[in-house]
Structures are given as C-alpha cells and as structure tokens.
Chain A
Amino acid sequence: MTLLSVENLRVTFPSDQGPVEVVKGLSFSLGRERLGIVGESGSGKSMTGRAVMGLIGKPARVTADRMEFEGQDLRNLPESRLRALRGARMSMVLQDPKFSLNPVIRIGDQIAEALEFHTALNARARRAKVLEALEAVRIDDPERVARQYPHEVSGGMGQRVMIAMMVVMEPALMIADEPTSALDVSVRGQVLDIMDDLVRRRGMGLMLISHDLNMVARWCDRILVMYQGRIVEELGAGQLSAASHPYTRGLLASVPRIDEDRPRLPVLDRAALEAAR
C-alpha cells in the first residue's frame, strides 16, 4: 500500500539573481518500506523531507503535481490539518540531538508533548506512554532519563530520546534526516538498529536521508540517489554494484576499502558529471 506519493515536487527560493530551484521535479512513492535518499550537501535531500512535512515556509515556494499522504492531498492542506498530521501520522528525526532537543524542558515532558497535542490522555496515562516509548528505544532506566534535561545525556542517548519522541504516537511515516551524522561512530549502528527495529515491528514507512551511500544501502530496501535537486538513479539495496550513473559510480569509487592498494582515492569529476546531464 502506498503511504506517500509525490510527483514533480519543486522547492524554490527567491534570490537576488532570481528564483533558485533546490528541488527540481522530484517524483517517488513510498509504501511501508525503508527508502533511502542519498546525495551530497545541497542536493535537495533534506528539503525533500521538509517539504513532505510541510515545514518549508516563506519565502520558499513548494509546488507539486501530486503530494498525497494516506490518501490526503498535502498540497493545499490548511496549517491546522497539517499540524494534526505532524507528530501523529508522520514524524521526523533530526540530525543532532544537541540542537534538536529543547535545553530547558525535561526529556519526559518533551516526549509527552506529542501526546498532549494529539490525544486526550491525562497526565498519568501520558507518563506511562512516555516510559513505554523510552523502553522501546532500549533505555534501561526510563524513569531517570525522563526526569533529566537534554544536556545531561550523551549524544547517542539523545538521539534515542529523539526517536522515542517521534514514535510515541505510532506514526505511519518516519523521516530520518541524517540521524547519525552527529553521533560517535561507535553508537551509530546501535541507533540505526533501534530505529530499524521499531520501523519494522510497527510497520512504518521510513525515509532515511543521508550522504552515506553504504549506510543507506545497508539499512534500506530501496535507494534514490539525488544530485543537484534531481533523482539521478534508483536502486534496490543489493544492486549498489550495478549503479550506472556517473555520480553514483564516482561516489562508490571514492570510498576506501580495507583491501586497498590505491595510492590516492579518486574525487568526483564534476566536468564529466555536467556533460552527462
């Protein structure tokens, strides 16, 4: 079943030199699966996620021929209806818990907020749900963590809190925008593991946005490769070696391997990429 279908999505920012299109006619659909979106900085991958969440405000402009989520047209949805969807039916894990968690609100209260906005549960019931969510992201001592402030927990723990906050309402779609880039390498796998587990167990759709091709290949069913606001290639997770677009090939070639004997890693040949367009 299709959760989200997007056709010809465009995001445009005004500038002194005229409008700049950062997403140039993107089309894709997402079911209850794990979709990876890969691309370099400025390729428009984050903008795509934010456009779906309806988070792009003025002065930018978002247009699409079709943008449907669970049968609802997102394009002209009034802000109040969009708000009812956000946090409840779709949610987004942001990059760095150091910045994405409010520094002066207790962790438990921040998680409980989603329940406060979308349900009629009383404080006691909300608290039970919060502890449940913290347990779901494998936090051993949920009572203590719920009372703590974000600066008192580590980055890996913070990101688990963020995930708990985003799954507490059991949404249908979760967008994860570079969820591990700010974390220590040692906890990345763990965080992705937790996320993956929740997504599969609850049958959610996941949109994993990252610049790390290999990571996305490992955790997703399907990969979209973005370059300069466009999808240049769509691959099944196992078909990485079959990639044909010069950008994807260039990215793959620049990754060091353990059995390496190349004295220099190749860099992307931008001129060739321009010619291929």
Chain B
Amino acid sequence: MTLTHRLLPPLQFLLMLAVTFLGLLAITFVIGRVVPIDPVIAVVGDRATKETYEATRLAMGLDDPLIVQFVRYVGAVLQGNLGNSIGTGRAVVDDLARVFPATLEMATIGILIGVAMGVPMGVWAAARQGTWVDQVIRVVGLAGYAIPAFWLGLVGLVLFYAKLRWVGGPGRIDLFLDGMVPVRTGLLLVDAALAGDWNSFRSAFSHIVLPASILGFFSLAYIARMTRSFMLEQLGQEYITTARVKGAPERVILWRHAFRPIRVQLITVIGLSYAGLLEGSVMIETVFSWPGIGNYLTTALLNADMNAVLGATLVVGAVFVGINKGSDALYRLLDPRART
C-alpha cells in the first residue's frame, strides 16, 4: 500500500465531514432568516424610531448580500461566536457549554442502561420466540412506547423520591452541595470524582439515577424490539443451519452466528437512539428541573431567542453528524463486507 492509499480515506472522510457541517450551517442560517422574528426589533425593541432601526440594521450587516452574511456567519461560528442570548444575557457558547454536558451525562447513562438491558432482552426474546419470555419482553417494550415520559417521571418522583426516599429529587445535585464541585468537564459525576468529592458524587448520582433510568427504559424498549426482529431474521438464515450441523451449542448459535452479523444494524439503532437522547428530552428535563439542552432550547424558542435557538440547533445537528460518522467508522470495523 502506498502512502497516497493510506492517506486518501481519512482525507476523504474529513472532506465529507466538512461538507456535511457546511450544509448544517447553511440550514441553521436559513432558518435564522426565514423565521418571522425580526432580529433588529429583538435588539432595539418595537418602540425604537425608524432611524435607530435602520442604523442598527446596517450595523448588524443585515443589508449585505445573503452570501456575505452567510460567510460572516460561518466565520463567526468557526471562531466559536454564536452571539448572545437574550434570555440569559450571556454568550450562547457559554450557555451551551453549561447545558449540553448536563444532557450528555443523563443521555449517556440512559443509553448504557438501554443497551445493557435492551440487547440481551431482544436476543432472549428472539431465542424464545412465542413463549412467555417473548410475551413479557413484548409487553415491556410496548409500555416503553405507550407510557408518556412526563407521567413516568412524575410517578417515579412520587414513588422513589417522595415516598421511599431512595433517590434525590429534581435538579442535578442537592441544593447545599450546588456549585461546590469545580467545573472541568461539566459532567457532574466526572467532576466530582476528579475532585475526590464523594459526597457530591453520591448526591449527583442519587439525582441522576431516576431520570437516566427512565430515559434508559425508553431506549431499552426500542433497542429490545429492534434486536428481537434482527435476531429473528438471522435465526432463519442458512448459516444458522450450518452451525447446527456442526453441532454448535445454543449459546454459540445465538451470540456468535446470529448476533455477530447484526452488530452493524444495532449500531445504527443505538446511534440514532443515543442521538435522540442527546437532543434532550424536554419532558424529562422539565419534570426533573434538569438544566439540559432540551430545556434550554424550549425556553429559547418560547422567548424568540434566535441566537440561542440556532446555537442549540447547531449542537444537536453536530451531535447527529458526529454519531453518524462514528457508526460509519464502526461498520468498517465490524463488518468485513464493508471494508473493501
């Protein structure tokens, strides 16, 4: 293999990534222009004189051709400038650096629960298709689809927080510990562990466990159902018969011959599920007073806080792109047919 052969794929990958992000920026830019919110009025207020309005409009560069405005926008984003939020009065970038880790922390624990339980459940249901095991798992999955998030959140709080006192209440940490942990990653559990502050860690854990479990339950329902159907398709394949002919035990048939080929499909499902959680579950974040990106985005939308909305949209879009590219890379690792 020559040097060009080695360098070409990663270069192509980076180029594709750049193009995708440019597309994403174009979309957020266009959204910013087409929404019926006048950015000038948002700054000067609706009682400003016509002269002030015009002067501000010129100062904001809104008189320039669209393409110039777009280039300026891309340049600002590249420099990490997303403008200021009207709602919080701070730079949107700083706001996002605060709210995104809160969502990231909860979503990550949620998806870990979803995968750790959903995948084995799906495999088990497929292996015991039509038996009571399959039925029970199906009912659990159905519940995950049918039960509204806010209801489960409220009932969970009433039961595990108010009555049983097993978990912490709304918020990320107990009030008297709030702000005690120095912020490094923004992930409270990680920061507390880094600081060796185990009191804060315990408190943060008791607060995150319930909302993260509820998110985990929803992704579990989806992941288990998809795993089951992928596995059933695999178990009907001819190479499963070959494995039986060779005298393979049930465990090997399930996990080696049927499960290995579906890992690629599962990555897509898990990736999408994770991206969905990272978007921030507004319901869960509201019920649990969680200062995450879902909450932030909703508040910004209701306040017509366009800089905040566009910034948060950009982050959500980037998360989707990142997860998609990540799963593409994993495909190549896991499926020999995708390597050529």
Contact = CB atoms under 8 A, between A and B. Distances in A.
Interface string A71-99: 00000000000011111100110111001
Contacts, number: 76
A13 interface: no
Given A99-B239, A103-B337, A149-B336, A113 B260 contact: no
A105 interface: yes
Nearest to B336: A149
Contacts of B335: 104
Given A96-B238, A149-B336, A105 B260 contact: yes
A102 B260 contact: yes
B243 interface: yes
A118 interface: yes
Contact of A99 (B237, B243, B252): B237
A96 B260 CA distance: 21
Contact of A102 (B243, B247, B334): B243
Given A104-B336, A151-B337, A83 B239 contact: no
A188 B243 CA distance: 24
A104 B261 contact: yes
A86 B336 CA distance: 29
Contacts of A83: 247-249
Contacts of A149: 336-337
A86 B334 CA distance: 30
B257 interface: yes
Nearest to B248: A117
B165 interface: no
A100 B238 contact: yes
A114 B245 CA distance: 9
B247 to A, nearest CB: 3
A92 B237 CA distance: 16
A94 B242 contact: yes
A103 B336 contact: yes
Given A99-B237, A99-B239, A100-B239, A53 B245 contact: yes
A149 B257 CA distance: 14
Size bracket, chain B contacts: 20 to 34
A86 B247 contact: yes
Nearest to B238: A99
A55 B247 contact: no
Contacts of A103: 239, 261, 336-337
B246 A55 contact: no
Nearest to A152: B336
Interface string A102-115: 11110000000110
B256 interface: yes
A196 B233 CA distance: 35
B336 A117 contact: no
B184 interface: no
Interface in B307-336: 334-336
A86 B245 contact: yes
Contacts of B237: 99
Contact of B261 (A91, A96, A102): A102
B20 interface: no
Contacts of A113: 243, 246, 248, 252
26 contacts: A53-B244, A83-B248, A85-B247, A87-B248, A88-B247, A91-B246, A92-B245, A94-B241, A94-B242, A95-B238, A96-B238, A100-B239, A101-B239, A101-B242, A102-B239, A102-B242, A102-B260, A103-B336, A103-B337, A104-B261, A105-B256, A105-B257, A105-B260, A114-B246, A117-B247, A151-B336
Interface of B: 237-239, 241-249, 252, 256-257, 260-261, 334-337
The 5 closest A-B CB pairs, nearest first, are A87-B247, A99-B238, A87-B246, A86-B247, A149-B336
Interface of A: 53, 55, 83-88, 91-92, 94-96, 99-105, 113-114, 117-118, 149, 151, 162, 165-166
